[in-house]
Amino acid sequence: MLLDAQTLLDAAFAEGFELAGLTPAIPHSDHARHLDWVSRGLAADMTYLTDHRAQVRKDPRDIFPQAITMLCVGKLYNTNGPKDHTESTEHGGWISRYAWGTRDYHDVLREGLERVVARLKVQLGQPFEYRICVDTAPLLERSYARQAGLGWIGKNTCLINEPQGSWFFLAELLLPFPTTSFNSPPPDRCGTCTRCIDACPTAAIVEGPSGWELDSAKCISYWTIEAKTEASAELKQAFGNHIFGCDICQDVCPWNRRAPLSEEPAFQPANACPPLEALDEQSFRDRFRKTPVARTKASGYNRNVLVALENRRK
Ligand code: SF4
Ligand code: SF4
């Protein structure tokens, strides 16, 4: 059965995704670049990027063998909270914008794509198999999203949409049908701008063999979310009051100046600038259960709070 491309895109827009595009479910040419990035140690200790799971990223059909078409979607998470970390409350820590809400975005996006599938099943008048990927599935999400026309990959390594900016969660729906047409990548609009590179407090955006790339071992997001060990004393001084993630290279991006606001209730700001205080297990669970911040566990959160308190004393 040949699916009408516009019908697929309209289903995504109707279910609350601000971005949608279509691309073939085949290996992506960025895969070799990704493996090269990993092999040069730039993924630091993120084992889900460095171990056998990196291999699976090559072909979406390793995830869902019947896949023919990939519907790539973006859901805006920009909200009307503090503009950037310089607007933190006086004694507050900074939590990355994507984690301000009250629910884990994986659940919100998965539910949205399940509604897209339900809508398509009614329109097609038949059930079908599919696979939803939200962040955790081994796919080069940004590369496919670019291929599907959602945006270009900026020097800050984020997917940027003109005119909506880069505050997007990405997800994919793998479908077992061909479609009438695919989207194509937009032009790269970074031009001569270097704002993100200049603003990064740890110089984590580095020039690689084929363009700008992230050195995870220098990135505040890596150290405050993923790392199981402590950063060097020198690096920690640059973390400021960041206790979960870092948005600086997106905050300074001119394409985010007019980013629209999300109306999704689950993403409205509840946790932007919590007080810089260590939390016991129960208090941490009460505050961050079901939010992305839960990923650090209380132990990682408290480690980050101590670093931020130390930085505040200096
Ligand atoms: S997230 Fe922060 S530390 Fe990481 S590259 Fe961007 S500005 Fe630098
Ligand atoms: S700040 Fe400038 S160079 Fe960096 S991603 Fe945005 S437009 Fe591109």
Report the pocket of ligand 1 as residue ranges, CB < 6 Å: 156, 200, 202, 204-205, 214, 219-221, 246, 248-249
| pTM of the predicted protein model | 0.94
In percent, the amount of the chain with pLDDT more than 70 equals 97
Q: At which residue do the structure tokens 């889900």 appear?
A: 48
- At 296, give phi and psi (nearest 5°): -80, -15
Higher pLDDT, 81 or 212: 212
Distance, CA of 49 to chain centre: 14
pLDDT given for residue 43 in this prediction? 83
| Rounded mean pLDDT, 169-194 | 98
When pLDDT is cut at 50, 70 and 90, the band that residue 138 belongs to is confident
Which ligand has an atom closest to residue 190 CA?
Answer: 2
Ligand 1 atom closest to 196 (CA): 7
Helix (H) or strand (E) holding 32: helix 31-39
When pLDDT is cut at 50, 70 and 90, the band that residue 82 belongs to is confident
Nearest CA to ligand 2 atom 5: 154
Encoded tokens for 280: 């016991």
Nearest CA to ligand 1 atom 1: 246
- Residue 192: is its pLDDT beyond 90? yes
Question: Is any atom of ligand 2 closer than 6 Å to the C-beta of 153?
Answer: no
